[in-house]
Amino acid sequence: MSNLIEVSYTGDLLAHRRCARAWAYEKHIGIHPYEQVQAMEGFLVHHAMEWLTKHHRRHGVHASPAELREQLGRYFRVLWARGIRTTFASKEKTLDRVLGHLFDQASSQPQPEVKAAVEGAQHEEYPLRSVRKVMPELYGGKSKVLLTGVLDVVIHQKAELVYPQTWRWTDKANLRGEITHDEPDQAAIGDREIWDYKSTRLRHSTSCEDYVRQVVTYAALLQNRMGLPHRCVLFFTNEAPGAKERLLAIPIDQEVVNASVHWTLEQVRELRDTVLQVQQDPRSVDGGDLSKRGLPLEERVDNDLKAQCTACAQRFDCPTYHAYLAKSGQHGNGSEHPDVQRTNVEKN
């Protein structure tokens, strides 16, 4: 038996924090959501950034919106065949939306932040694979953790990107902080940054602190190879072009880097505990946001998680979601809500 725990930062670690029950049933029992609603846009944006970067490197000029649209049209069909769906009415509307987020309509040029990322990309979609040793007695007998993730390393070619929105650390040891608009930052030529794309909207997301920890951990794990970057950047691609919420610049130093590795390994330990629990009794794993586990069941579902619950394959017998539905509407103990009625053929 392998003594390695392989953990994808987004697919495992953040998904486990979002809902340990849904993660465990999908990864360790093999029950997948019957379709992955809302994932389409995220896949398209990541693919667009990777393709735009390759195009710019190969041809020395930016691709046009029409060229990108053609490429995304092909990729859309691949995703659709894999069961990925969109919440938008049609393929055309989905592509319009992605293109609208990346290109300036009037000039047909990439938005400034897209330009900076594409022109400065050193490694597009850089695959991170980092191994850390851990104590087997704390990790259910495993002695190594392999952490994987995908990120972009950007070196600024022009000093034209300003970050009106930044992250202010309030407690570095515990990786806590807040978004501020009082301490703007600006990239200088040659600044090296680690970028991560998020297809959610910052102002609607309750996971910002986790995203910050994720990208800072990436910086920590790359430190031996590249040194510390000047800053980390989260690019919320679903925010409107020009909106100050679109980019979030995160200052980093050795203290937060050390704390992020410690925090991440602690999350892996909790994830390993869930795996061992599933092996004993899958039904004993509670649903809901892991950081809210001390709260009553009905308070463990927030807006982000609700969007996942409504398409979750485990929702029909999930006590957490039933408790949430019971609290939030006129649905008895929750089992009368259309979301969890097995005979609701329109939904299922």
> Which DSSP symbol is given to 236?
E
Nearer to ligand SF4, 4 or 295 (CB): 295
Beta carbon of residue 211, minimum distance to ligand SF4 (angstroms, whole number) = 19
Backbone angles phi, psi at 81, to 5 degrees: -65, -25
Beta carbon of residue 135, minimum distance to ligand SF4 (angstroms, whole number) = 30
Beta carbon of residue 20, minimum distance to ligand SF4 (angstroms, whole number) = 8
For 107, 164, 237, 238, 272, the CA distances from 92, given in Å and listed in that order, are 21, 33, 18, 17, 42
Nearer to ligand SF4, 72 or 275 (CB): 275
Beta carbon of residue 33, minimum distance to ligand SF4 (angstroms, whole number) = 9
The DSSP annotation for 157-215 comes to SSS--EES-EEEEEETTTTEEEEESSS-EE--TT-EEEEEEE-S-GGG-S-HHHHHHHH
Beta carbon of residue 157, minimum distance to ligand SF4 (angstroms, whole number) = 42
* Residue among 191, 25, 45, 177 nearest 119 (CA): 191
Beta carbon of residue 181, minimum distance to ligand SF4 (angstroms, whole number) = 33
Q: Supply 129's token pair.
A: 């694979």
Nearer to ligand SF4, 246 or 337 (CB): 337
Nearer to ligand SF4, 25 or 218 (CB): 25
Nearer to ligand SF4, 110 or 288 (CB): 288
The DSSP annotation for 54-121 comes to HHHHHHSSPPPHHHHHHHHHHHHHHHHHTTB--SSS-HHHHHHHHHHHHB-TTT-PBPHHHHHHHHHE
Nearer to ligand SF4, 239 or 289 (CB): 289
CA distance 332 to 72: 45
User: What residue number has its CB nearest to ligand SF4?
Assistant: 287
For 60, 155, 212, the CA distances from 187, given in Å and listed in that order, are 22, 10, 19
Which parts of this chain interact with ligand SF4 (CB under 6 A)?
Answer: 19, 21-22, 287-288, 301, 305, 308-309, 312, 314-315, 318, 320-321
Going by DSSP bridges, is the β-strand pair 185-186/121-133 parallel, antiparallel, or unpaired? unpaired
Beta carbon of residue 209, minimum distance to ligand SF4 (angstroms, whole number) = 20
Beta carbon of residue 198, minimum distance to ligand SF4 (angstroms, whole number) = 19
Q: Supply 203's token pair.
A: 């102002």
Nearer to ligand SF4, 104 or 302 (CB): 302
Q: Taking a C-beta distance cutoff of 8 angstroms, is the pair 246, 201 a contact?
A: no
Quickly count: other Cβ atoms within 10 Å of residue 191's Cβ: 17
249 forms bridges with which residues in the sheet?
166, 233
Nearer to ligand SF4, 260 or 308 (CB): 308
Beta carbon of residue 324, minimum distance to ligand SF4 (angstroms, whole number) = 8
Nearer to ligand SF4, 52 or 318 (CB): 318
Q: Taking a C-beta distance cutoff of 8 angstroms, is the pair 348, 323 a contact?
A: no
* Residue among 291, 286, 298, 288 nearest 324 (CA): 298
